[in-house]
């Protein structure tokens, strides 16, 4: 039955021609998007290497100066990308690529790609993910809306069923032929991942598995609708309504609802809150208390009699004090962002498009969780740099009046480690990809049950 159905669908596709041309155009569009994304990825990688090398050279060649002056001189670190970001850039255009690490504060990321685009470019980004998430379901609909409804409309369905054709075999053969046809779109993606042997295996498997399930889901939606529709036109109208609602309308509504439920403070308000939280009278009291405890510990009356430079100890205390007070504020903001993402992920129960979008970005390392991972890694590096610089001032600046008198050289700058983060395994970043995959599996099971009901409907038609 399957081979006969495949042969029949192939003959019909050749006879009509438009589906084959549409298939070839979509494949070509996917390959072009993949090639364009790869070229941008390569260019960005080359620029990242050049800038990282130039930044390291800038840091090492800054000349002799006080360690605290070097701390304000700052270090720029650049966010890496995974090879899967070529397939799904996700939120990358809206997230900064560079962070400036300096004393006393944690800066926001800089150089968002969206800021460098003209208005026309901001309208949409042609990526392999966009093609497979949005355009491919439309192709599935156009390829399969008529598979059963048209035969019912023309009367050939009754003849097939009356001749003894098994309804379940007919239904699943048509669905498998449709699913197998559209799964060919994964070939360029799989080829790219095999060629890029440095891709993370777990991320790649989740990515490919998610899209495969998504294509089968839309194939089942198309077949079920066709099986229940009286005419092919009715099936097409219903499917187009489902596509526009699930792929265009619901994602926008769910995201707007997430933002309204978990609002964020503006960057200006948040930065002002950081300042007012740290620089208070309590800070001066804490510094005075720390100073007295240090004097008592070393049994001296003034900081000049300490066996180290008080300036270095004082600066490190200020860093630790600020980090301790601002950490809850950053955690609260990140929790709001995480709540927004979790709420949007729950929308996968309403639309398989949302579930796949969340899974795809998470696997590609282009979602909120991976951006937060980069910011956290950069902040840990910033604190490490401050400890090294302040420690050097503390133990080597004793014979000088202040930081301006003590001059460190390239030997200290070389002690600062190079920032070279590597993307963690998918399981170490977020569990949101598991929820998205479960949503897709839930859709698959639900639609499989509806397939059984559709087959029962065909069985009743055979009896009548």
In the predicted model, what is the mean pLDDT of residues 189-205? 82
For the residues 227-240, what does the mean pLDDT come to? Answer: 96
Q: Give the pLDDT score at 6.
A: 60
d(CA 360, CA 133): 10
Token digits for 14?
Answer: 């050749």
pLDDT at 198: 65
Q: By C-alpha distance, which of 337, 361, 400, 355 is closest to 67?
A: 400
Kindly list the distances between the CA atom of residue 58 and the CA atoms of 26, 42, 222, 390, 413, in Å, as whole numbers in the listed order: 47, 24, 59, 20, 10
pLDDT over threshold 50, residue 439: yes
Rounded to 5 degrees, φ, ψ at 76 are -100, 130
Range from 91-105, 315-329, 440-454 carrying the lowest mean pLDDT: 91-105
Query: Does position 332 have pLDDT exceeding 60, yes or no?
Result: yes
pLDDT tops 50 at residue 118: no
> Which residues fall within 8 angstroms of residue 421, CB to CB, at 6 or more apart?
80, 374, 377, 378
pLDDT at position 3, please? Answer: 66
Q: Answer whether residue 238 shows pLDDT above 60.
A: yes
Least confident of 34-43, 115-124, 151-160: 115-124
- The arithmetic mean of pLDDT across residues 267-293, rounded, is 93
Higher pLDDT, 92 or 312: 312
* Ranges 162-176, 229-243, 356-370, 374-388: which has the least confidence: 162-176
d(C-alpha 117, C-alpha 114), whole Å: 5
pLDDT band at 453 (very low <50, low <70, confident <90, very high): very high
Give residue 200's pLDDT: 77
What count of residues does the chain have?
464
- The reported pLDDT for the residue numbered 112 is 60
Contact of 348 with 440, CB cutoff 8 Å:
yes
- C-alpha R_g of the chain: 30
> Per-residue pLDDT for 192 more than 70?
yes
Using the predicted structure, report yes or no on whether residue 123 has a pLDDT greater than 80.
Answer: no
How many other C-beta atoms are found inside a 10 Å radius of the C-beta of residue 114? 13
Predicted pLDDT at 197: 67
Window from 47-51, 82-86, 401-405 with minimum mean pLDDT: 401-405
Q: How confident is the model at residue 281 (pLDDT cuts 50, 70, 90)?
A: very high
Of 451 and 198, the structure prediction assigns the larger pLDDT to 451
Q: What is the pLDDT of residues 14-62, one digit of tens each?
A: 666 677 788 889 999 999 999 999 998 898 888 888 999 999 999 999 9
- Higher-confidence residue of 462 and 358: namely 358
Side-chain-side CA neighbours of 270 within 13 Å: the count stands at 19
Give the residue with greater pLDDT, 430 vs 424.
424
pLDDT digits (tens, 9 = 90+) for 214-230: 999 999 999 999 999 99
- Predicted pLDDT at 122: 40
Q: CA 92, 94, 95, 100 torsion: positive or negative?
A: positive
Helix (H) or strand (E) holding 295: helix 281-298
> Averaged over 154-176, what is the pLDDT?
85
Report percent pLDDT > 70 for the chain.
Answer: 90
């Amino acid at each position: 039955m399957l081979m006969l159905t495949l042969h029949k669908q192939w003959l019909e596709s050749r006879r009509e021609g438009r589906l084959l041309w549409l298939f070839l155009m979509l494949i070509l569009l996917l390959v072009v998007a993949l090639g364009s994304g790869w070229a941008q990825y390569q260019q960005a990688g080359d620029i990242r290497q050049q800038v990282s090398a130039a930044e390291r050279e800038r840091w090492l060649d800054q000349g002799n100066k006080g360690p605290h002056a070097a701390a304000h001189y700052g270090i720029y670190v650049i966010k890496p990308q995974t090879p899967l970001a070529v397939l799904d850039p996700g939120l990358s255009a809206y997230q900064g690529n560079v962070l400036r690490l300096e004393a006393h504060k944690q800066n926001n990321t800089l150089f968002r790609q969206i800021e460098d685009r003209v208005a026309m470019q901001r309208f949409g980004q042609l990526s392999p993910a966009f093609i497979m998430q949005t355009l491919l379901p439309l192709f599935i609909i156009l390829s399969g809306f008529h598979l059963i409804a048209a035969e019912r409309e023309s009367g050939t369905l009754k003849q097939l069923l009356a001749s003894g054709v098994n309804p379940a075999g007919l239904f699943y053969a048509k669905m498998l032929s449709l699913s197998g046809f559209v799964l060919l779109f994964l070939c360029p993606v799989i080829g790219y991942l095999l060629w890029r042997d440095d891709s993370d295996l777990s991320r790649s498997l989740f990515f490919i598995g998610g899209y495969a399930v998504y294509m089968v889901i839309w194939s089942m939606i198309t077949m079920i609708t066709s099986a229940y529709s009286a005419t092919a036109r009715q099936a097409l109208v219903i499917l187009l309504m489902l596509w526009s609602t699930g792929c265009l309308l619901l994602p926008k509504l769910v995201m707007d609802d997430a933002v309204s439920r978990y609002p964020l403070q503006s960057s200006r308000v948040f930065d002002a809150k950081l300042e007012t939280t740290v620089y208070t009278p309590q800070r001066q009291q804490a510094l005075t208390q720390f100073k007295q405890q240090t004097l008592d510990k070393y049994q001296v009356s003034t900081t000049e009699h300490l066996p180290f430079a008080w300036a270095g100890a004082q600066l490190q205390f200020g860093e630790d004090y600020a980090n301790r007070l601002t950490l809850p504020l950053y955690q609260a903001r990140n929790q709001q962002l995480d709540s927004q993402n979790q709420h949007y992920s729950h929308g996968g129960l309403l639309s398989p498009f949302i579930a796949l979008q969340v899974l795809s970005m998470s696997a590609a390392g282009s979602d909120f969780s991976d951006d937060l991972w980069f910011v956290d890694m950069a902040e840990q590096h910033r604190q490490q740099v401050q400890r090294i610089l302040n420690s050097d001032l503390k133990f080597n600046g004793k014979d000088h009046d202040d930081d301006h008198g003590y001059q460190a050289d390239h030997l200290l700058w070389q002690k600062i480690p190079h920032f070279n983060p590597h993307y963690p395994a998918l399981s170490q970043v977020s569990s949101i990809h598991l929820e998205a995959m479960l949503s897709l599996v839930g859709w698959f099971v639900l639609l499989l049950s509806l397939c059984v009901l559709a087959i029962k409907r065909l069985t009743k038609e055979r009896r009548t």
